[in-house]
Structure 1
Amino acid sequence: MSTRASASPPASASTRAWTTRQELLGFATAGLLAYATDLALFTCLRGPAALDPLTAKALSFLAGCSVAYAGNALGTYRHTPHRGGPRTYATFLAVNLAGALVQLACLTVSHYGLGLTSQTADTVSGAGVGMALATVLRFWGTRTLVFRTFRT
Protein backbone atom coordinates (compact mmCIF):
# COMPACT_ATOMS: atom_id res chain seq x y z
CA MET A 1 0.00 0.00 0.00
CA SER A 2 1.34 3.40 -0.97
CA THR A 3 1.66 6.22 1.53
CA ARG A 4 1.39 8.84 -1.21
CA ALA A 5 -1.74 10.91 -1.38
CA SER A 6 -3.97 10.01 -4.27
CA ALA A 7 -3.13 12.08 -7.27
CA SER A 8 -5.29 12.39 -10.31
CA PRO A 9 -4.38 9.84 -12.95
CA PRO A 10 -2.05 10.98 -15.73
CA ALA A 11 -3.86 12.52 -18.65
CA SER A 12 -4.19 10.40 -21.75
CA ALA A 13 -2.30 11.32 -24.89
CA SER A 14 -5.50 12.47 -26.59
CA THR A 15 -6.41 14.67 -23.60
CA ARG A 16 -2.94 16.24 -23.59
CA ALA A 17 -3.13 16.83 -27.35
CA TRP A 18 -6.56 18.46 -26.98
CA THR A 19 -5.30 20.66 -24.14
CA THR A 20 -2.26 21.71 -26.16
CA ARG A 21 -4.47 22.59 -29.15
CA GLN A 22 -6.69 24.68 -26.89
CA GLU A 23 -3.65 26.43 -25.42
CA LEU A 24 -2.28 27.14 -28.90
CA LEU A 25 -5.61 28.62 -30.01
CA GLY A 26 -5.90 30.79 -26.90
CA PHE A 27 -2.26 31.83 -27.11
CA ALA A 28 -2.68 32.78 -30.79
CA THR A 29 -5.83 34.77 -30.04
CA ALA A 30 -4.15 36.68 -27.22
CA GLY A 31 -1.11 37.21 -29.44
CA LEU A 32 -3.16 38.61 -32.31
CA LEU A 33 -4.91 41.04 -29.97
CA ALA A 34 -1.55 42.05 -28.52
CA TYR A 35 -0.10 42.56 -32.00
CA ALA A 36 -3.07 44.74 -33.00
CA THR A 37 -2.65 46.79 -29.82
CA ASP A 38 1.09 47.18 -30.40
CA LEU A 39 0.63 48.24 -34.02
CA ALA A 40 -2.25 50.65 -33.37
CA LEU A 41 -0.54 52.32 -30.43
CA PHE A 42 2.79 52.57 -32.24
CA THR A 43 1.05 54.19 -35.20
CA CYS A 44 -0.73 56.71 -32.94
CA LEU A 45 2.38 57.50 -30.93
CA ARG A 46 4.50 58.04 -34.06
CA GLY A 47 1.81 59.98 -35.93
CA PRO A 48 -0.46 62.26 -33.91
CA ALA A 49 1.61 62.11 -30.70
CA ALA A 50 4.87 62.65 -32.65
CA LEU A 51 7.04 60.58 -30.30
CA ASP A 52 10.42 59.32 -31.46
CA PRO A 53 10.34 55.75 -32.84
CA LEU A 54 12.15 54.04 -29.95
CA THR A 55 9.97 55.61 -27.26
CA ALA A 56 6.85 54.85 -29.29
CA LYS A 57 7.93 51.23 -29.81
CA ALA A 58 8.86 50.72 -26.16
CA LEU A 59 5.45 52.00 -25.02
CA SER A 60 3.53 50.04 -27.65
CA PHE A 61 5.53 46.89 -26.80
CA LEU A 62 4.62 47.22 -23.11
CA ALA A 63 0.96 47.77 -24.00
CA GLY A 64 1.00 44.74 -26.30
CA CYS A 65 2.64 42.62 -23.58
CA SER A 66 -0.03 43.73 -21.12
CA VAL A 67 -2.82 42.73 -23.50
CA ALA A 68 -1.15 39.37 -24.17
CA TYR A 69 -0.65 38.77 -20.44
CA ALA A 70 -4.29 39.58 -19.66
CA GLY A 71 -5.51 37.39 -22.50
CA ASN A 72 -3.41 34.45 -21.38
CA ALA A 73 -4.03 34.87 -17.64
CA LEU A 74 -7.78 35.42 -17.95
CA GLY A 75 -8.34 33.18 -20.95
CA THR A 76 -5.83 30.62 -22.15
CA TYR A 77 -4.38 29.65 -18.76
CA ARG A 78 -7.26 30.62 -16.46
CA HIS A 79 -7.46 27.04 -15.15
CA THR A 80 -3.81 26.82 -14.10
CA PRO A 81 -2.72 27.52 -10.55
CA HIS A 82 -0.73 30.72 -11.18
CA ARG A 83 -0.29 33.42 -8.59
CA GLY A 84 -0.40 36.47 -10.83
CA GLY A 85 1.01 39.73 -9.58
CA PRO A 86 4.14 41.67 -10.44
CA ARG A 87 6.50 38.69 -10.38
CA THR A 88 4.40 36.67 -12.82
CA TYR A 89 4.03 39.70 -15.11
CA ALA A 90 7.79 40.35 -14.92
CA THR A 91 8.47 36.74 -15.97
CA PHE A 92 5.99 37.14 -18.82
CA LEU A 93 7.68 40.37 -19.89
CA ALA A 94 11.10 38.67 -19.78
CA VAL A 95 9.82 35.83 -22.01
CA ASN A 96 8.48 38.39 -24.48
CA LEU A 97 11.74 40.37 -24.44
CA ALA A 98 13.59 37.12 -25.20
CA GLY A 99 11.24 36.62 -28.15
CA ALA A 100 11.97 40.14 -29.39
CA LEU A 101 15.70 39.43 -29.14
CA VAL A 102 15.26 36.27 -31.23
CA GLN A 103 13.59 38.35 -33.95
CA LEU A 104 16.39 40.91 -33.83
CA ALA A 105 19.01 38.15 -33.94
CA CYS A 106 17.45 36.63 -37.06
CA LEU A 107 17.38 40.03 -38.75
CA THR A 108 20.97 40.78 -37.69
CA VAL A 109 22.31 37.45 -38.98
CA SER A 110 20.49 37.79 -42.29
CA HIS A 111 21.22 41.46 -42.91
CA TYR A 112 24.74 41.83 -41.56
CA GLY A 113 26.03 38.26 -41.43
CA LEU A 114 24.70 36.90 -44.71
CA GLY A 115 24.55 40.21 -46.55
CA LEU A 116 20.87 39.82 -47.49
CA THR A 117 20.03 43.52 -47.33
CA SER A 118 16.89 43.96 -49.41
CA GLN A 119 13.64 44.99 -47.76
CA THR A 120 12.17 41.62 -48.72
CA ALA A 121 15.06 39.75 -47.08
CA ASP A 122 14.72 41.87 -43.94
CA THR A 123 10.97 41.18 -43.81
CA VAL A 124 11.42 37.43 -44.32
CA SER A 125 14.17 37.15 -41.70
CA GLY A 126 12.69 39.48 -39.07
CA ALA A 127 8.94 39.21 -39.51
CA GLY A 128 8.91 35.69 -40.98
CA VAL A 129 11.61 33.41 -39.62
CA GLY A 130 12.26 35.54 -36.55
CA MET A 131 8.57 35.81 -35.66
CA ALA A 132 8.06 32.05 -36.08
CA LEU A 133 11.02 31.19 -33.81
CA ALA A 134 10.05 33.89 -31.30
CA THR A 135 6.47 32.59 -31.18
CA VAL A 136 7.68 29.08 -30.36
CA LEU A 137 9.89 30.52 -27.60
CA ARG A 138 7.05 32.68 -26.26
CA PHE A 139 4.59 29.78 -26.23
CA TRP A 140 7.05 27.52 -24.42
CA GLY A 141 8.04 30.25 -21.96
CA THR A 142 4.49 31.34 -21.26
CA ARG A 143 3.39 27.75 -20.76
CA THR A 144 6.26 26.51 -18.63
CA LEU A 145 7.75 29.55 -16.91
CA VAL A 146 4.81 31.90 -16.44
CA PHE A 147 1.74 29.70 -16.04
CA ARG A 148 3.58 26.44 -15.24
CA THR A 149 1.50 23.90 -17.13
CA PHE A 150 3.92 21.01 -16.68
CA ARG A 151 2.65 17.71 -18.01
CA THR A 152 2.91 14.28 -16.43
Structure 2
Amino acid sequence: MSERGALRTRLDLLAREIAKFGAVGAIGFVVNAIVFNICVHAFDLAVVRSGVIATVVAIATNYVGNRYWTYRHTEKNKRSRELMLFLLFSGIGLVIENGILALSHYGFGFTSTLADNVAKNVIGLGIGTVFRFWSYRTWVFKALPAREAVETAESFLEGPEAEAEAHSARPARST
Protein backbone atom coordinates (compact mmCIF):
# COMPACT_ATOMS: atom_id res chain seq x y z
CA MET A 1 0.00 0.00 0.00
CA SER A 2 1.40 3.40 -0.91
CA GLU A 3 2.07 6.09 1.68
CA ARG A 4 -0.84 8.07 0.27
CA GLY A 5 -3.17 5.08 0.55
CA ALA A 6 -1.99 4.36 4.08
CA LEU A 7 -2.56 7.98 5.06
CA ARG A 8 -6.03 7.91 3.54
CA THR A 9 -6.85 4.71 5.45
CA ARG A 10 -5.65 6.24 8.73
CA LEU A 11 -7.66 9.41 8.09
CA ASP A 12 -10.76 7.33 7.28
CA LEU A 13 -10.35 5.40 10.53
CA LEU A 14 -9.86 8.63 12.47
CA ALA A 15 -12.98 10.12 10.84
CA ARG A 16 -15.01 7.04 11.86
CA GLU A 17 -13.64 7.22 15.39
CA ILE A 18 -14.52 10.92 15.64
CA ALA A 19 -18.02 10.24 14.27
CA LYS A 20 -18.66 7.46 16.80
CA PHE A 21 -17.19 9.53 19.63
CA GLY A 22 -19.41 12.41 18.50
CA ALA A 23 -22.53 10.24 18.43
CA VAL A 24 -21.84 8.97 21.94
CA GLY A 25 -21.08 12.55 22.97
CA ALA A 26 -24.35 13.77 21.47
CA ILE A 27 -26.27 11.31 23.62
CA GLY A 28 -24.18 12.38 26.60
CA PHE A 29 -24.91 16.02 25.76
CA VAL A 30 -28.67 15.39 25.79
CA VAL A 31 -28.41 13.50 29.09
CA ASN A 32 -26.22 16.26 30.53
CA ALA A 33 -28.53 19.09 29.46
CA ILE A 34 -31.71 17.35 30.66
CA VAL A 35 -30.26 16.39 34.05
CA PHE A 36 -28.74 19.87 34.49
CA ASN A 37 -32.00 21.66 33.79
CA ILE A 38 -34.05 19.26 35.94
CA CYS A 39 -31.65 19.79 38.85
CA VAL A 40 -31.74 23.59 38.48
CA HIS A 41 -35.43 24.11 37.73
CA ALA A 42 -37.24 21.15 39.31
CA PHE A 43 -35.06 20.61 42.38
CA ASP A 44 -33.82 24.22 42.71
CA LEU A 45 -30.21 23.16 43.22
CA ALA A 46 -27.29 25.55 42.73
CA VAL A 47 -26.05 25.71 39.15
CA VAL A 48 -22.57 24.31 39.76
CA ARG A 49 -23.92 21.47 41.93
CA SER A 50 -26.46 20.74 39.18
CA GLY A 51 -23.68 20.86 36.61
CA VAL A 52 -21.56 18.37 38.52
CA ILE A 53 -24.50 15.97 38.98
CA ALA A 54 -25.40 16.24 35.29
CA THR A 55 -21.82 15.70 34.19
CA VAL A 56 -21.42 12.62 36.40
CA VAL A 57 -24.57 11.06 34.89
CA ALA A 58 -23.32 11.90 31.38
CA ILE A 59 -19.88 10.44 32.16
CA ALA A 60 -21.49 7.11 33.08
CA THR A 61 -23.54 7.17 29.88
CA ASN A 62 -20.50 8.05 27.80
CA TYR A 63 -18.33 5.32 29.32
CA VAL A 64 -20.80 2.66 28.30
CA GLY A 65 -21.12 4.10 24.78
CA ASN A 66 -17.40 4.54 24.26
CA ARG A 67 -16.36 1.19 25.76
CA TYR A 68 -18.93 -0.91 23.93
CA TRP A 69 -19.19 0.97 20.63
CA THR A 70 -16.56 3.62 19.82
CA TYR A 71 -13.60 1.72 21.25
CA ARG A 72 -14.94 -1.84 21.31
CA HIS A 73 -11.92 -3.03 19.30
CA THR A 74 -9.36 -1.90 21.90
CA GLU A 75 -7.72 -3.78 24.75
CA LYS A 76 -10.14 -5.23 27.27
CA ASN A 77 -7.80 -7.06 29.61
CA LYS A 78 -7.01 -4.07 31.82
CA ARG A 79 -10.52 -2.83 32.62
CA SER A 80 -9.74 -1.49 36.10
CA ARG A 81 -6.85 0.60 34.73
CA GLU A 82 -9.03 1.74 31.84
CA LEU A 83 -11.87 2.73 34.17
CA MET A 84 -9.54 4.60 36.54
CA LEU A 85 -8.00 6.57 33.66
CA PHE A 86 -11.44 7.20 32.17
CA LEU A 87 -12.67 8.59 35.49
CA LEU A 88 -9.50 10.67 35.96
CA PHE A 89 -9.73 12.33 32.55
CA SER A 90 -13.51 12.64 32.78
CA GLY A 91 -13.00 14.34 36.15
CA ILE A 92 -10.61 16.83 34.57
CA GLY A 93 -13.21 17.43 31.84
CA LEU A 94 -15.83 17.90 34.58
CA VAL A 95 -13.66 20.59 36.20
CA ILE A 96 -13.16 22.33 32.83
CA GLU A 97 -16.87 22.21 32.01
CA ASN A 98 -18.16 23.32 35.40
CA GLY A 99 -15.29 25.74 36.01
CA ILE A 100 -16.44 27.69 32.97
CA LEU A 101 -20.02 27.57 34.30
CA ALA A 102 -18.88 28.85 37.72
CA LEU A 103 -16.79 31.61 36.14
CA SER A 104 -19.70 32.72 33.96
CA HIS A 105 -22.37 32.49 36.67
CA TYR A 106 -20.50 33.71 39.75
CA GLY A 107 -17.53 35.54 38.25
CA PHE A 108 -19.17 37.44 35.41
CA GLY A 109 -22.71 37.49 36.81
CA PHE A 110 -24.36 35.87 33.78
CA THR A 111 -27.15 34.14 35.69
CA SER A 112 -29.94 33.59 33.18
CA THR A 113 -30.97 30.09 32.16
CA LEU A 114 -29.65 30.75 28.65
CA ALA A 115 -26.29 32.02 29.94
CA ASP A 116 -25.88 29.03 32.26
CA ASN A 117 -26.70 26.57 29.47
CA VAL A 118 -24.36 28.29 27.00
CA ALA A 119 -21.51 28.43 29.53
CA LYS A 120 -21.92 24.80 30.60
CA ASN A 121 -23.35 22.97 27.61
CA VAL A 122 -21.70 24.86 24.76
CA ILE A 123 -18.42 26.46 25.83
CA GLY A 124 -17.49 24.24 28.79
CA LEU A 125 -18.65 21.03 27.19
CA GLY A 126 -16.97 21.94 23.90
CA ILE A 127 -13.57 22.50 25.49
CA GLY A 128 -14.03 19.50 27.78
CA THR A 129 -14.95 17.29 24.82
CA VAL A 130 -11.79 18.15 22.90
CA PHE A 131 -9.74 17.34 26.01
CA ARG A 132 -11.63 14.09 26.62
CA PHE A 133 -11.30 12.88 23.01
CA TRP A 134 -7.56 13.46 23.06
CA SER A 135 -7.02 11.86 26.46
CA TYR A 136 -9.31 8.87 25.89
CA ARG A 137 -7.72 7.88 22.60
CA THR A 138 -4.21 8.57 23.89
CA TRP A 139 -4.32 6.88 27.31
CA VAL A 140 -7.63 5.21 28.11
CA PHE A 141 -8.80 3.15 25.14
CA LYS A 142 -5.49 1.98 23.70
CA ALA A 143 -5.63 0.08 20.45
CA LEU A 144 -4.36 -3.45 20.29
CA PRO A 145 -0.95 -3.80 18.65
CA ALA A 146 -1.96 -4.10 15.02
CA ARG A 147 1.25 -3.49 13.10
CA GLU A 148 1.73 -7.17 12.27
CA ALA A 149 -1.91 -7.61 11.29
CA VAL A 150 -1.77 -4.60 8.98
CA GLU A 151 1.52 -5.72 7.41
CA THR A 152 0.16 -9.20 6.83
CA ALA A 153 -3.08 -7.89 5.33
CA GLU A 154 -1.22 -5.49 3.07
CA SER A 155 1.18 -8.19 1.90
CA PHE A 156 -1.74 -10.54 1.23
CA LEU A 157 -3.35 -7.91 -0.96
CA GLU A 158 -0.11 -7.17 -2.82
CA GLY A 159 0.84 -10.79 -3.56
CA PRO A 160 3.27 -13.49 -2.44
CA GLU A 161 6.45 -11.43 -3.08
CA ALA A 162 5.26 -8.62 -0.80
CA GLU A 163 4.25 -11.15 1.87
CA ALA A 164 7.75 -12.64 1.94
CA GLU A 165 9.20 -9.12 2.07
CA ALA A 166 6.92 -8.11 4.97
CA HIS A 167 7.89 -11.21 6.96
CA SER A 168 11.60 -10.61 6.40
CA ALA A 169 11.28 -6.92 7.37
CA ARG A 170 9.93 -7.76 10.84
CA PRO A 171 12.45 -7.76 13.65
CA ALA A 172 13.08 -11.13 15.27
CA ARG A 173 11.21 -11.69 18.53
CA SER A 174 13.04 -12.68 21.64
CA THR A 175 11.41 -15.12 24.01
Match of 2:69 in 1: 75
Match of 1:23 in 2: 17
Query: Structure 1 residues 34, 109: closer, same or farther in 2, change over 3 A?
Result: closer
Asked if 1 retains the 8 angstrom alpha-carbon contact of 2:52 and 2:94, the reply is no
Work out the CA distance in 2 between the residues paired with 1:124 and 1:37.
15
Secondary structure of the structure 2 residue equivalent to 1:36? helix
Asked if 1 retains the 8 angstrom alpha-carbon contact of 2:100 and 2:120, the reply is yes
1:117 aligns with 2:118: no
Query: Structure 1 residues 118, 63: closer, same or farther in 2, change over 3 A?
Result: closer
1:141 aligns with 2:139: no
Q: CA-to-partner distance for each residue in 1:14-66, whole Å, 9 max, x for gaps? A: 1121111111111111122233344556638x85xx69668876665444222
Match of 2:88 in 1: 94
Asked if 1 retains the 8 angstrom alpha-carbon contact of 2:25 and 2:62, the reply is yes
Secondary structure of the structure 2 residue equivalent to 1:12? helix
Work out the CA distance in 2 between the residues paired with 1:117 and 1:60.
20
Q: Structure 1 unaligned segments of length 5 or more: list them.
A: 1-8
Write the letter of the residue equivalent to 2:99.
A
Q: 1:135: Cα distance to partner?
A: 0.7
Percent identity for Structure 1 against Structure 2: 27
Secondary structure of the structure 1 residue equivalent to 2:66? helix
Alignment coverage as a number of residue pairs = 140
Write the letter of the residue equivalent to 2:110.
T
TM-score of the superposed pair, with normalisation by structure 2: 0.60
Q: CA-to-partner distance for each residue in 1:91-110, whole Å, 9 max, x for gaps? A: 11221111121122323444
Q: Structure 2 unaligned segments of length 5 or more: list them.
A: 148-175
The structure with the greater share of residues assigned to helix is 2
Query: Structure 1 residues 59, 117: closer, same or farther in 2, change over 3 A?
Result: closer
Work out the CA distance in 1 between the residues paired with 2:111 and 2:11.
40
Query: Structure 1 residues 20, 66: closer, same or farther in 2, change over 3 A?
Result: same
Give the CA RMSD over aligned residues: 3.7
Asked if 2 retains the 8 angstrom alpha-carbon contact of 1:65 and 1:96, the reply is yes
TM-score of the superposed pair, with normalisation by structure 1: 0.68
Secondary structure of the structure 2 residue equivalent to 1:79? coil
